[in-house]
Amino acid sequence: MITEYSISVMLNKHFSDDIERIKRRNALVITALFIGVIVLAFVCLFVGSSRMSLADCFAALAKRGTASQVRIIWNIRIPRVLAAIIAGAGLSVSGLIMQTNLNNPMASPSTLGVSNAAVFGANLSIIVFAGGFLSTGNNLTSYTVGMNPFATSLIAFIFSAFSNLLVLGLCRVRAFHPGVVVLAGIAIGSVWTAATTILQFYATDVGLSAAVVWTFGDLGRATYRTDLIMAVVVAVGLVFFAFMSWKFNALLSGDSTAKSMGVAVDRLRFVSMLCASLITAVCVSFLGIIGFVGIICPHVSKKLLGQDHRVSLPASALSGSILLLLADTVSRSMGGGSALPVGAITSLLGAPFFLAIIFSRKGEHD
């Protein structure tokens, strides 16, 4: 005879079996993504314009090759691969957090005008202080001597951070609502774009070309020092987001539900948006504009593993690293002796994905 108690036991056992199956699937997917990062890192390490054979690459990796081969592997390719892993993870996780906070699946690190502010800061550094109309004119030699790439990154970061604080400050005064954040970010981003256009209008040919080149997302400018700085910032951000993952899960159910669970919604949005924006600012200031990573990878991770931030966070980080490693490998394979800007590759991959999101959401409302 089947009783209510036996039915309850059967349902609980079935429910627990489902949970265990989901946990095993999530662990398998994250493990596969981790292995994918390792494999692609080695592939990216052995691809380049120097036409080194696989044996030469392994020898140089063990510091047994020629001096030039060792220098190519250890001074150029390894910092580049590390930058792809670190920046890909940082940009992807930043996109995930912004999408959760703004309840907008098309939100990305550029939502708050971070990239626009970084471009203005870099243009100001290059055109005005390092190679533009106020210092070296059209003299390419003096431009090369005067330019300080690290100073350019620092000024780009300062303007990005200032833009973040400005947008978030305006939202705190008005009301920290997701729609207000997006509109404020668009408005401030437009101001930075206009200021950049005016600055470039008065630039010399050399200063303008150098400023435009900087905006290209380029992993080739990465060094061990910049990788270390990015790694520290991204690691601190990931730890913070992981610690707050249950609060982000509560936020997915709506502000009212999150507040009923003891979550300070406005404070969580402010702090997490600021942290995500600072991660983006650091990566952009060193590597230039790398678009769509913060849109593509969070969507992929959520499709694979669902909305739970305890698993979507590491999945987003790993998928971001995979995307940037893949884009860098493609850019160096197609460059014909020189690497194409990796930002162009991610944009080519991201634009169709972005359109697919728009049309799929339209279909949901029909």
26: CB partners within 8 A, 6+ apart:
305, 311
3-state secondary structure 6-36: HHHHHHHHHHHHHHHHHHHHHHHHHHHHHHH
Separation of alpha carbons 108 and 102, rounded Å: 10
Q: What is the mean pLDDT of residues 281-293?
A: 89
Residues with Cβ within 8 Å of residue 201, at least 6 apart in sequence = none
Tell me the Ramachandran region of residue 336: left when phi exceeds 0, alpha when psi lies from -120 to 50, beta otherwise: left
Q: Which of 34-48, 245-259, 310-324, 341-355 has the lowest mean pLDDT?
A: 341-355
pLDDT of residue 173: 73
Q: 132 pLDDT exceeds 70?
A: no
Least confident piece of the model among 117-126, 163-172, 290-299, 306-315:
163-172
Q: What pLDDT shows up at residue 5?
A: 47
CA separation, residue 333 to residues 49, 58, 94 (Å): 8, 19, 28
Mean pLDDT of the region 24-46: 93
Which whole number is the average pLDDT over 199-219?
A: 85
> Is pLDDT at 10 greater than 70 in this prediction?
no
- Alpha helices by DSSP H, listed for the chain, are 4-45, 54-61, 67-71, 78-102, 114-123, 140-146, 149-174, 178-201, 205-215, 224-243, 245-251, 255-260, 265-287, 293-305, 309-334, 342-365
Q: Is the model more confident about 299 or about 85?
A: 85
Of the CA atoms within 13 Å of residue 353, those in its CB half-sphere come to: 18
Domains and CATH numbers, the chain: 83-354 (1.10.3470.10)
pLDDT at residue 15 in the model: 56
pLDDT at 170: 79
Q: What is the pLDDT of residue 146?
A: 45
Q: Measured between alpha carbons, how far is 291 from 279 in angstroms, rounded to an integer?
A: 14
The fraction of the chain above a pLDDT of 70, given in percent, is 85
pLDDT of amino acid 240: 96
- On the question of pLDDT at 228 being above 50, the answer is yes
Task: Indicate if the pLDDT at residue 247 is higher than 90.
Answer: yes
Q: pLDDT tens, 152-195?
A: 888 889 998 888 888 888 777 766 677 778 888 888 999 999 99
pLDDT of 358 reads 64
What average pLDDT does the segment 242-260 reach? 90
From residue 341, alpha-carbon distances to 68, 187, 333 in Å are: 24, 28, 12
Position 49 scores a pLDDT of 73
User: Residue 274 above 80 pLDDT?
Assistant: yes
The pLDDT value given to residue 319: 93
- 31 pLDDT more than 60: yes
Average pLDDT of the segment spanning 128-146: 50
Quick one: pLDDT at residue 94? Answer: 94
Band of residue 335 on the pLDDT scale cut at 50, 70, 90: low
At residue 252, does pLDDT exceed 70? yes
pLDDT value, residue 227:
96
- Predicted local distance difference test score (pLDDT) of residue 149: 57
